[in-house]
Structure 1
Amino acid sequence: MNFFSKERNRRRKEELFIRNGKILLERFIKSCNGKCNPIRSFSAEEIKIATNNYDPQNIITKDGYYNLYEGFLQDRQVSVMKFTDEGGAEGGFNTIVFASQMRHKNILKLIGCCLESQLPTLVFESAQRLTLANRIYSPGEPHLSLTERLKIAMEIANAIAYLHCGFPRPIVSRTIKSSNIVFHGENIAKLFDFELSMSIPEGETEIEDSVKGTDGYAAPEYVATGIFNEMSDVYGFGTLLLELLTGKRAINVNGQDESLEHRVVSLQDYVKIHIARNDFTKIIDPKIVATVLTPEMEEQLQAFPELALKCLNWSAGDRPTMIDLAKQLRNMYKSACQIMS
């Protein structure tokens, strides 16, 4: 690269840094009055080296607008969130603003970001190469036991309860799903994606926005009206609980179970059909009960869909709060640990 090319490249990075920095500052002031945890600024070259030039083999997970990479930055293992489409710019800035406010053991810690590229790039603490979706659906992965699944559910419930109750204005996630849950250290489950998150305005109890998110997780009142609040997250969490119980994806369940004689799209309907038939044990992921289903285990497992279906209540007002769910799951987890010991 000759001198003039290098100079053009340097000026372009400076222009992007100033433009993106201005946008980010405006978002910080609007969302949290500029108050957030300190985060670092990284250069585009540092991020490129950290990810081995965004090597596809280093991808932990990918979504519509971004890839999450494993990387090493200054001899420290990190996770790098790179947005791959112009449509992801909004989500990138949004994730920086919300993730930088978080201090919770079940939310992936944001270390810093790079504003020298066209789209913001985020640097988080390290995450394992497997998402929860990988652990549930990939046939080659080790089985998740009942206690492990309850632990994951409890940890994510704690994280969502923190979003709803840990700030002056409740934060609604709208991105709760198994592919947005990663693991850190000793299998600690963590949320990391806040691209669709919004704070409920002061003095209000709900928000109106265009319908976004993933089929099977979006609450019916949100899909119908574009209006949502914390109870919409509870609905998505209910779907996650059923995934943990059944080992099946949130939609198109017919394609995952040939024993169903008529078309069933939602995981919720699939579970309800089998419960009505008194076929409860048929909905349990075989990986949970690889050998014998004891009466004590069956009692624990029956509580799982009961709790999930409460979350999936058609009426938002009849769903439990995330605080209540976190407490119930903690008790279920402790009980399961005693049974398995």
Structure 2
Amino acid sequence: MRKLDSSQKKQLKDATDNFDEDRVIGKGGQGTVYKGMLSDGKLVAVKRSSSLDENQWKEFINEVIILSHVNHRNVVKLIGCCLETKTLHLVYEFIPNGTLSDLIHSPNKEFRVTWEIRLRIASEVAGAIAYLHSSSSAPIYHRDIKSSNILLDHKYVAKVCDFGISRSISIDQTHVTTCVRGTFGYLDPQYFLSNQFSEKSDVYSFGVVLVEILTGQKPTRVTLDDATSLVMQFINITDNSALYEMLDPILLGSNHMIEDIMVVVNLAKRCLHSEGAVRPTMMQVAMELACLSKKIRANVAAASSEENISDPSIDFFSTITNIDESCSF
């Protein structure tokens, strides 16, 4: 990551056609994101602040500090920054296939989002969060895990993004006490009540993402009568017939995968437990998903002579444990 000088700032203007509205690829609390092309032909995403709000400025600075300490294939890369002018800019690698939220909730009819693809993405995201919690130079709580903060590259490999409200903590810390921040529908209820955010709060948010992946539904649904919580409906299901009605119909077409889908259903429920202490760690979640993904790849390889697709999330675990010994099918 590098600091941009005045000539490079001009390049950002040129790259985005002076931040033309046609170049906008996203808008959020921190500002607007533009697609740009540098003079060497490299595509980038440029986040530009929309005001001089003090909290927004702090979030930009925080994102720079956090991402400068992170190096993981499933975390978006920050290429450069400009924090010296009235308008702040962050420059990222360009990720072309939108977000996991887009993929699930606005599907492309020509691209079938199979169980294998969903599981691989879930495994990649879990590996990235586990890395943030336990393998980076200092543990990091993301604090806003949600499907719209998971980008997908040209091969639909997941990239966790948006670290504006993330917090880096000391190794001996168990939580941070802070004003409640995050996104409604993904917030850990314990955090909401106590203002204490722990690694298990990220686990809860990831559990909500798993439910989205399984059901194809949004965390909250507002009707004329009331607002319905997808999570409450999901965790209160006690019989399989009602659960099957909630699952995305695309998944039910894979009868041979039902057993594996149920494994993830139960994992999601554990992540969403009302008591944070009972929830698994992200390392445990990531290991379980990686093992399940490995099993499915092995089954696909046995059933087909086609070349096996590698799972990049496995690379992370190969550095910390022998996954062949820890997985049993």
Shared topology, TM-score over 0.5?
yes
Cα pair 2:100 2:150 within 8 Å, conserved? yes
Q: CA deviation at 1:264?
A: 6.2
CA distance in 2, matches of 1:210, 1:251: 22
CA distance in 1, matches of 2:200, 2:275: 9
Structure 1 residues 129, 184: CA separation in 2 closer, same or farther (over 3 Å shift)? closer
Alignment of 1:287 onto 2:255? no
Structure 2 counterpart of 1:241:
210
CA distance in 1, matches of 2:90, 2:75: 14
Amino acid at match of 2:49: F
Structure 2 counterpart of 1:328:
288
Q: Give a deviation string over 1:175-218, Cα, whole Å, max 9, x none.
A: 21111111224221101210001122453221111100001111
Structure 1 counterpart of 2:79:
111
Amino acid at match of 1:39: R
Structure 2 counterpart of 1:305:
265
Q: CA deviation at 1:82?
A: 1.8
Amino acid at match of 2:159: K
Overall identity of the aligned pairs, in %: 34
Structure 1 counterpart of 2:323:
none
Q: CA deviation at 1:134?
A: 0.7
Could you say what secondary structure the match of 2:251 adopts? coil
Structure 2 counterpart of 1:271:
234
Cα pair 1:44 1:117 within 8 Å, conserved? no
Cα pair 1:44 1:116 within 8 Å, conserved? no
- Structure 1: runs of 5 or more not aligned: 1-37
Structure 2 counterpart of 1:32:
none
- 185, 195, 211: which one aligns with 1:216: 185
Paired residues, number: 295
Structure 1 residues 144, 120: CA separation in 2 closer, same or farther (over 3 Å shift)? same
CA distance in 2, matches of 1:149, 1:57: 31
Q: CA deviation at 1:282?
A: 1.1
CA distance in 2, matches of 1:102, 1:168: 8
Could you say what secondary structure the match of 1:326 adopts? helix
Structure 2 counterpart of 1:207:
176
CA distance in 2, matches of 1:298, 1:277: 11
Amino acid at match of 1:327: M
Amino acid at match of 1:171: I
Q: CA deviation at 1:73?
A: 1.6
- Structure 2: runs of 5 or more not aligned: 304-329
Cα pair 1:268 1:309 within 8 Å, conserved? no
Structure 1 residues 250, 229: CA separation in 2 closer, same or farther (over 3 Å shift)? same
Amino acid at match of 1:67: T
Could you say what secondary structure the match of 2:43 adopts? strand
CA distance in 2, matches of 1:288, 1:70: 34
- 84, 98, 107: which one aligns with 2:50: 84
Structure 1 residues 308, 174: CA separation in 2 closer, same or farther (over 3 Å shift)? same
Alignment of 1:1-341 (within 5 A): 38-42=1-5, 43-74=8-39, 75-85=41-51, 86=53, 87-140=55-108, 142-201=111-170, 203-252=172-221, 255=223, 265-276=228-239, 278-289=241-252, 292-294=253-255, 296-340=256-300, 341=303
Cα pair 1:61 1:131 within 8 Å, conserved? no
Structure 1 residues 81, 339: CA separation in 2 closer, same or farther (over 3 Å shift)? same
Q: Which moved more, 1:111-120 or 1:242-251?
A: 111-120
CA distance in 2, matches of 1:239, 1:58: 31
Structure 1 residues 129, 83: CA separation in 2 closer, same or farther (over 3 Å shift)? farther
Could you say what secondary structure the match of 1:128 adopts? coil
Q: Give a deviation string over 1:136-185, Cα, whole Å, max 9, x none.
A: 11144523110100111010111101110123431100021111111224
Cα pair 1:274 1:283 within 8 Å, conserved? no
TM-score, normalised via structure 1 length:
0.80
Q: Give a deviation string over 1:20-79, Cα, whole Å, max 9, x none.
A: xxxxxxxxxxxxxxxxxx424154322121122223333333222222222112321111
- Please say which structure displays the higher CA radius of gyration: 1
Structure 2 counterpart of 1:9:
none
Q: CA deviation at 1:277?
A: 6.6
CA distance in 1, matches of 2:77, 2:69: 10
CA distance in 2, matches of 1:269, 1:44: 47
